[in-house]
A = this chain, B = another copy of it.
Amino acid sequence: MSLDDLKEKGRRAKSERLVARSGADAKPTLKTVAELTGLAVTTVSRALADAPQIALETRQRVRQVAADIGYLPDRAAQRLRTGRTNVISLVLDPHEEILGYATSMINGLTEALRGTAYHLVITPHFSDTPQIEPVRHIMRNRMADGIVFTRTEPGDERVKLLMENNFPFICHGRTELATAHPYVDYDNYSFAYQAAKKLIAAGASKLSIILPPERFTFAHHLKHGFMTAVREEGVGFEIAKGVTLDSKSDDIRDYVFRRMGEPERPDGYICGGEVSALAVMASAYDHSLELGRDIRLVAKQTSGLFDQIRPRVETIYEDLTEAGFLMGKLLLKRIGGPAPIHELQALQTV
């Protein structure tokens, strides 16, 4: 086909388009583009997919026309035909009400998904059903191309299930399974270790740490880092009993308040979350104990919140937005092709 022919074809297409404009306000489909270009639907499809068998010239022309009329492929049709959903599911545990936890993750994820065809679907996991249910459901019914979840456990059933079925996923936190799996984690060991060292260096003689529920892997990491530090320093310590970072904040405060009134009370607290840190501060306040003198505190900071808290508290930062972003990117890499797992792991430093 000569250049002139192509130009002619283009002109024809253009005028037809003007005619069609008035006729159909309807949503443009491949058929629309096909009619405008005078090509077959199949050709248009392949042209837009940049298939090498389609002449470069044609590809460009199709691309142009598609852009002109604002053609966007129908997700449902693509999904039905290809089996790909273009959906990433974020399984959220409503217990994670730790202020901006979910928000930060979501912001990071959407940023990672930006410019891709992927949509982010929030799948709640209601407390009256087993943790694994939403994951199984998404996988079995192909509701998404990839799953993101959090609060990973040492022998996490979700990880097992997804690995067995070779289903793309990424989780925040990691298991203790022998098999490697994709994850993004924060170095909670170092967090607790360094927090303890800081407290001790500041003069604390008996440390206390409030841990997450024991079923989560990061509870073990925190505990391990904590124990290593206190043993190295030979300092007194205790682990908060009866409350966890998941407890209602009032319960945490009640516990800490009570403990502060007892003999041999701890004088250094490590808090893995912002709310629990505030609860410790409130307890100290209610006991008229002065922070930084009677009681010391190192908290994990995941938002800008503690910049406004007085008296100033020593914090160590965990970037959850970045974690979300990383998870998104790694998951996309995994979905694109089966990337080697060692490339799908990331440990954020303290």
Contacts and interface: CB of A to CB of B under 8 A. Distances in A.
B178 A1 contact: yes
Nearest to A311: B285
Contacts of A142: 27
Interface in A92-143: 92, 94, 97, 99-103, 106-107, 110-111, 114, 119-124, 126, 140-143
Nearest to A82: B76
A275 to B, nearest CB: 6
Contacts of A177: 1, 6
B100 A305 contact: no
A29 B350 CA distance: 49
Interface string A1-13: 1110010011001
A211 interface: no
A14 B307 contact: no
A94 B107 contact: yes
A178 B2 contact: yes
Interface residues of A, number: 69
Given A1-B177, A76-B79, A303-B99, A164 B308 contact: no
B76 A80 contact: yes
Nearest to A143: B75
Given A164-B13, A178-B1, A282 B253 contact: no
Interface in A1-45: 1-3, 6, 9-10, 13-14, 27
Contacts of A163: 6, 10
Contacts of A178: 1-3, 6
A27 B179 CA distance: 28
Interface string A291-310: 00000000000011101111
A166 interface: yes
Contacts of A310: 281-282, 285-286
Contact of A14 (B72, B77, B111, B166): B166
A278 interface: yes
A336 to B, nearest CB: 20
A190 interface: no
20 contacts: A1-B179, A2-B178, A3-B179, A6-B160, A10-B166, A27-B140, A72-B141, A74-B80, A76-B79, A79-B79, A92-B106, A94-B107, A99-B103, A100-B100, A102-B102, A106-B122, A107-B124, A122-B122, A249-B304, A285-B311
Interface of A: 1-3, 6, 9-10, 13-14, 27, 70, 72, 74-77, 79-80, 85, 92, 94, 97, 99-103, 106-107, 110-111, 114, 119-124, 126, 140-143, 160, 163-166, 177-179, 248-250, 253, 275, 278-279, 281-282, 285-286, 303-305, 307-311
